Structure 1
């Protein structure tokens, strides 16, 4: 996940990986909606 912010900067588009999407879903299921820096746009949105 460390490379996602760099890919997003270079591509100028959001990047979503299966690991990132799974983490986002798991965090939402347990009620955690905190923003996570350095994990890409998906985990920075609330």
Structure 2
């Protein structure tokens, strides 16, 4: 279906799709990094 404007296609669906995929990967990584850094700061 090509009734959408190009800008909406590029910065709407595509960006939202990428954002949730990236967030799904980065959120656990951020948690792990925060825990590891907190551990090193606390223990070291």
For normalisation by structure 1, the TM-score amounts to 0.32
Bigger helix fraction? 2
For normalisation by structure 2, the TM-score amounts to 0.34
The higher relative CO (CA closer than 8 Å, separation ≥ 6) is in 1
